[in-house]
Structure 1
């Protein structure tokens, strides 16, 4: 038989009262914070799961900042390429106008000045800043404008390549300016034609059989004898591919998978060169060449026609190259949006995991708080009743 002393009864009641009070306070703290797990000791497993989820969210936030930087940079790049495309189109229209047979030397020189002004605007676009002290087309970074106008033409002073964001996602911050502005394919993309004639011109040519393309250099040489004009095609400076062929203005000359048309009246010793295309065409060098030729006075109609045809060929090549780069930038922006979606999903997953691990079910918490409040009130009443059960109260009663 266990003896329960008055002191033990009082001590047990006080201990029970304090425990219920602590539970009530903890329930109040949970309801106030909205968290079921306030410290790791409340639920070590849930606390660890929530901590991992928070780390996931922090990584997602860092990636989001990197994505925003890449998106801003590529948006600026796309805008610059759009502006460049419009300027190139304006220059093309002026080159077409310069081919007007009624133009005088002064009018062609005026057209050349307009093209030169467009060229300056294009240089400003190529050197456009990114708003943070850098440059859109600086490649791997440069503290100075990446393009410099020098006596030999526009040169690239930036660092080759491209800069990417510092995150797990491979997203660009810059583009290679040299590749964008100075590396379009020359000619028609397979070969390029040029002329030394003052009375005839050659078109851009076309490929008739890709498998037959040799990549060699050719020269079409003209001979005028007894009123008859013939031509020969020499390969690599020594091998005659065609010899003494009769010439007809505008008729295609076909050789090794290529078709070219020479028009006009070639003179004795006139020649037309065919060189393999290289990725070295610059919008600036193309316009510089056109401007220089249009400003040259007393040129023949054939020479002007050659300038216009070659200029249109080259500017179209550069325009297509810029458009391809712009399309690539658009694809990058699309990819950035896709990455952003994945990161948002990852962050949402982290928040959901964190919430499931430590957040409070408010409805259940209110019910539990009500029960604890009732229990605490009952404990208070019990304690008050026990105070009246002492031996002294009994004797005094």
Structure 2
């Protein structure tokens, strides 16, 4: 068979080009560290790597939403902690103002202190996160949730919470209504209060529950009668008489009925009345603080009036603190769920990265060996090409 010089030349050039291309591909794989650098390298593996990349990108997007929720909840938890500290200082000032030896001027000094703490408390309630959203705005975090007006502080937000787009119900805000103005009034079960027409020198404590199974949810009134120097009391239920009628009164002795207990102390006047009513979930801590400041600024109050207002507003502060602790516990539970969600997302991200690496990754040891083999083949082809170039009659005519 005759093989022409031209044919040998073309064959050696083709071999050289193919080996050079293979060598360049191997060198590119070593440089990028990937076996699949374009879809044409391995269509099936490229598709698998693309799916893994899409899953990784989605996981990163969800993680950003989770991070936003985590930031908001950490700031909210810190704000609730600051609010608890301020309420504790307000409570201590109220306790000090209840000292019977204090003068009206000293009580006004405590009122000024409480008013300053109240201003700080409102600032905490309207605190923002780093992006300008209000932590306690609920579903409307774009504007200040609490407005301080002539009638007191009102909630301007929308109840509920705004959730992050994370697949899990992770909030970006806290329901300010639930945290600040939804505490339980009184002792949480019922409230105690003197009638406005009382003229005696007696006051009632916040009361307590002695037997939950006997609670009726009704309203009661303790009505005093003074006759011949003897003081007795009767208890009315929803305005009607009960078995407690004409009972001799002893200052500081608990009065119990239907699982409720309240203690009246001091000297009541004839017809003085103290009301017991079911508690409600609408305690506005700002209104209570404003009322406490107004009471402390009122001069010439009797010891009974001082003791009564002190007991009432201390109970309000305690209830607000308990409500905030409850909301803070919910925020803490949310932070725990965020940690769990972050762990799951880390696992998903690692799985996607592993799948992508398996699809387009390069076995470096094998790739180096393959590159060396291709380089040897390319060198051999180059030498072969140089020999073919010498297969010319002119090389022998000298």
Smaller-chain TM-score range? over 0.9
Shift, 1:371, TM fit: 0.3
Give the aligned partner of residue 267 of structure 1: 269
Worse-matched range after superposition: 193-202 or 4-13: 4-13
Q: Is the 8 A contact 2:137 2:144 kept in 1?
A: yes
Matched, 1:160 2:159: yes
Shift, 1:387, TM fit: 4.4
State the alpha-carbon separation in 2 of the partners of residues 239 and 232 from structure 1. Answer: 8
SS of alignment partner, residue 353 of structure 1: helix
Q: Is the 8 A contact 1:94 1:115 kept in 2?
A: yes
Counterpart mapping for 1:51-200 below 5 A: 51-196=50-195, 197=198, 198-200=200-202
Q: Judging changes above 3 Å, is the alpha-carbon distance between structure 1 residues 6 and 258 closer, same or farther for their aligned structure 2 residues?
A: same
State the alpha-carbon separation in 2 of the partners of residues 112 and 13 from structure 1. Answer: 101
Q: Is the 8 A contact 2:141 2:173 kept in 1?
A: no
Worse-matched range after superposition: 197-206 or 366-375: 197-206
Give the aligned partner of residue 256 of structure 1: 258
State the alpha-carbon separation in 2 of the partners of residues 220 and 30 from structure 1. Answer: 91
Shift, 1:395, TM fit: 7.9
Q: Is the 8 A contact 1:235 1:241 kept in 2?
A: no
Give the structure-2-normalised TM-score.
Answer: 0.94
Could you report, residue by residue, the CA deviation over 1:86-124 in whole angstroms, capped at 9, with x for unpaired residues? 111111011111111111222222222221221111111
Shift, 1:143, TM fit: 4.0
RMSD (Å) for aligned C-alpha atoms: 1.9
Give the aligned partner of residue 359 of structure 2: 357
Worse-matched range after superposition: 10-19 or 101-110: 10-19
Counterpart mapping for 1:1-397 below 5 A: 4-196=3-195, 197=198, 198-388=200-390, 392=393
Shift, 1:235, TM fit: 1.0
Worse-matched range after superposition: 92-101 or 325-334: 325-334
Shift, 1:166, TM fit: 2.0
State the alpha-carbon separation in 1 of the partners of residues 227 and 15 from structure 2. Answer: 126
Q: Is the 8 A contact 2:191 2:206 kept in 1?
A: yes
State the alpha-carbon separation in 1 of the partners of residues 190 and 232 from structure 2. Answer: 23
State the alpha-carbon separation in 1 of the partners of residues 300 and 243 from structure 2. Answer: 36
Could you report, residue by residue, the CA deviation over 1:136-191 in whole angstroms, capped at 9, with x for unpaired residues? 11111254321111222210111221111122132111111111111101111111
Please list every run of at least 4 consecutive aligned residues from structure 1 whose deviation after the TM superposition is greater than 6 angstroms: none
Give the structure-1-normalised TM-score.
Answer: 0.94
State the alpha-carbon separation in 1 of the partners of residues 229 and 339 from structure 2. Answer: 68
- How many pairs are equivalent? 395
Q: Judging changes above 3 Å, is the alpha-carbon distance between structure 1 residues 385 and 240 closer, same or farther for their aligned structure 2 residues?
A: same
Q: Which runs of 5+ in 2 are unaligned?
A: none
SS of alignment partner, residue 175 of structure 1: coil
Q: Is the 8 A contact 2:202 2:304 kept in 1?
A: yes
State the alpha-carbon separation in 2 of the partners of residues 294 and 184 from structure 1. Answer: 23
Q: Is the 8 A contact 2:135 2:141 kept in 1?
A: no
Shift, 1:15, TM fit: 1.9
SS of alignment partner, residue 262 of structure 1: strand
State the alpha-carbon separation in 2 of the partners of residues 360 and 322 from structure 1. Answer: 56
